[in-house]
Amino acid sequence: MISAWSADDVRAAEEPLLAAGAPLMARASFALATQVLADLRARRRHVRGARAALLVGAGNNGGDTLHAGAVLARRGVAVTAVLTAERVHGEGLAALRGAGGRVVELAAAPDRAPAVAAEVSAADVVLDGLLGIGARGALRGPAADLVTELTAVVGMESAEHDRSGSADSIPTAAGGVTAGAGRPWVVAVDLPSGIGVDDGTLPGPVLAADRTVTFGVAKPGLLLPPAARVVGEVTVVDIGLEPVGPPAVRRLEAADVAVSWPVPGPSDHKYTRGLVGLVAGTATYPGAAVLAASAAVRTGTGMVRYRGSEPVARTVLAARPEVVTATGRVQAWVVGPGVPTTRDRDDPADDGQHDRGRGALAVARGDLPGMPYGPVPAVVDAGGLPLLGETSPPWFVLTPHAGELAGLLRSRGEDVHRDDVEAAPLRWARRAHELTGATVLLKGGVTVVAGTEGAWAQADAPGWLATAGAGDVLAGILGTMLAARATDVVERPALAAEVAAAAALVHGSAAERANPGGPVAALDVAEAVPGTVSTLLGLR
């Protein structure tokens, strides 16, 4: 698990250490320099003679960068520091000068930004030390001008990445470690300057990094979209910080999902494994029912009970003969894939699914007196979302994409559109959780989950997963995972979010497994789930 703490929590953790005289900046800058030297060695045979450009802001982030620059200069790297503020970290500057580093004072001559950007773009490595956890809003002043020029000169914002990673690093949304030929390797110091440290927004120009060396613990903005796309490979270096309190954002790794996966034992039978009830698909969208049912079956449910019109049920059974249409006990409901999102009760296109969906959600809430089968968890997707009541329990997991989330929020009085959600996914997923009470899984390149305790951000999926029907597959996977732990999920409000994050990991990993590095169809993703799960379980 990767855990990220807010800037305030990091500062609170630093305080006692600094008061006790712990040399945090020395630790941070030495670890940074060591990583940069390793990257230089990996990219060019000799460190000596390499050129490094330091982008230096007013605060301690610039201080870290200057001290690291001094270490590089002593190893024979030609180091130039570009100072974007009139006053920068004094000791750091003295150390760099003492080691033979060169200094360009951009703050004193801001109109030189284009020329300085051209020089910086010719370096082998750029260290972005403009802003760290003290960032407030978009980059301003000479720092903003410089980054804007740099991204224009070498197109750094569209850095090419592959998906490779290494053991001590966080694989990220953009993945990998390859800078494009002819442009410098960009290392962000603590975080790419100008990202929203706590919310992952991109309020202004940001230099996309190939690697982020972050100190102590990860920061939320490194895990959250859209900023997660510009952090490159994240390396967390230990400087002795121990934040107290829960992390703000977490990311599950494969091993975490492996340990909590319920493996059936000799005394299990299909009813103890968890049954998934599925209200999905209509005559217009029968495929959604097939995809969700296939995914639920392939994730290892005890049984899928399908609820829908007769012709769609026949289609589902033709694809998955394991599915049952008889009514009976269900441990988790999946409501809404392939169901129209209209709220019109008389819409003939709904094939009766709105009524079935309302009934299923009432059972899942535990609303029906005398019904022995609730409360149980529910996945509420697509056409299920408009069926929700005023408030929902946290064991309801809503699975909208950005457009659906905007619609849900508008229906509750927020003036918000898809673009707003994409610009600040965590903010709006949280808002939807506050307004509905439900756990909210917001789908996207990085999937964000907001529940009763903190948030999760999963970056497991290749871009190829953005294909029709992939969301239906996620709904089926999540339905099976919730059904397997139904009682715990209803009893522990925070668990639904963790299971939802785990489902996003399984979904993204199955997409990668279905066809590594190439296109996938939604059904391929469902078909790849059993192999994905057995690989995960091999990590136990």
Ligand X SMILES: NC(=O)C1=CN([C@@H]2O[C@H](COP(=O)(O)OP(=O)(O)OC[C@H]3O[C@@H](n4cnc5c(N)ncnc54)[C@H](O)[C@@H]3O)[C@@H](O)[C@H]2O)[C@@H](O)CC1
Ligand Y SMILES: Nc1ncnc2c1ncn2[C@@H]1O[C@H](COP(=O)(O)OP(=O)(O)O)[C@@H](O)[C@H]1O
Nearer to K ion, 206 or 303 (CB): 206
- Shortest CB 75 distance to K ion, Å: 22
Q: Is 60 annotated among the ligand-binding residues?
A: yes
Residue 532 binds to ligand Y (criterion: CB under 6 A): no
Residue 444 binds to ligand Y (criterion: CB under 6 A): yes
Q: Given the rule CB under 6 A, which of 125-133, 328-336, 366-374, 460-468 is the region that contacts ligand Y?
A: 460-468
- Whether 2 and 251 have beta carbons less than 8 Å apart is answered as yes
To which H or E segment does residue 447 belong?
strand 447-450
Residue 19 burial (C-beta neighbours within 10 Å; 0-12, 13-18, 19+): exposed
Scan residues 6-65 and list those touching ligand X (CB under 6 A): 14, 18, 24-25, 28, 57-62, 64
Residue 401 binds to ligand Y (criterion: CB under 6 A): yes
Strand partners for 448: 442, 457
* Residue carrying structure tokens 């910086």: 120
Residue 175 binds to ligand Y (criterion: CB under 6 A): no
Nearer to ligand Y, 184 or 383 (CB): 383
Q: Is 338 annotated among the ligand-binding residues?
A: yes
Name the binder of 229 from ligand Y, ligand X, K ion, none, CB < 5-8 A by kind. none
Nearer to ligand X, 64 or 422 (CB): 64
Q: Is 287 annotated among the ligand-binding residues?
A: no
- Shortest CB 459 distance to ligand Y, Å: 8
Cα angle value 230/231/236 (rounded, 5°): 175
Q: Is 134 annotated among the ligand-binding residues?
A: yes
Q: Please report, to the nearest 10 degrees, the dihedral formed by the alpha carbons of residues 213, 464, 498, 267 taken in order.
A: -130
Helix (H, G, I), strand (E, B) or coil at 275: strand
Residue 139 binds to ligand X (criterion: CB under 6 A): yes
Radius of gyration of the chain (CA): 25
Nearer to ligand Y, 85 or 500 (CB): 500
Residue 519 binds to ligand Y (criterion: CB under 6 A): no
Name the binder of 474 from ligand Y, K ion, ligand X, none, CB < 5-8 A by kind. ligand Y
Please name which of 424, 425, 450 lies closest in space to residue 437, comparing C-alpha atoms: 450
Please name which of 521, 499, 368, 369 lies closest in space to residue 441, comparing C-alpha atoms: 499
**What are the b/e assignments for 400-420, b being 16+ CB within 10 Å?**
bbbebbbbbbeeeebebeeeb
Name the binder of 465 from ligand X, ligand Y, K ion, none, CB < 5-8 A by kind. ligand Y
Residue 81 binds to ligand X (criterion: CB under 6 A): no
- Whether 298 and 526 have beta carbons less than 8 Å apart is answered as yes
- Residue 233 main-chain phi, psi, to 5 deg: -85, 130
Residue 470 binds to ligand Y (criterion: CB under 6 A): yes
- Residue 120 main-chain phi, psi, to 5 deg: -60, -40
Name the binder of 475 from ligand X, K ion, ligand Y, none, CB < 5-8 A by kind. none
For the annotated binding site, the residues are 60-64, 128, 132-138, 190, 193, 288, 338, 401, 443-447, 471-472
* Residue ranges binding ligand X (CB under 6 A): 14, 18, 24-25, 28, 57-62, 64, 131-141, 143, 189-190, 215, 239
* Residue ranges binding ligand Y (CB under 6 A): 401, 443-445, 447, 461, 463, 465-466, 468-472, 474, 507
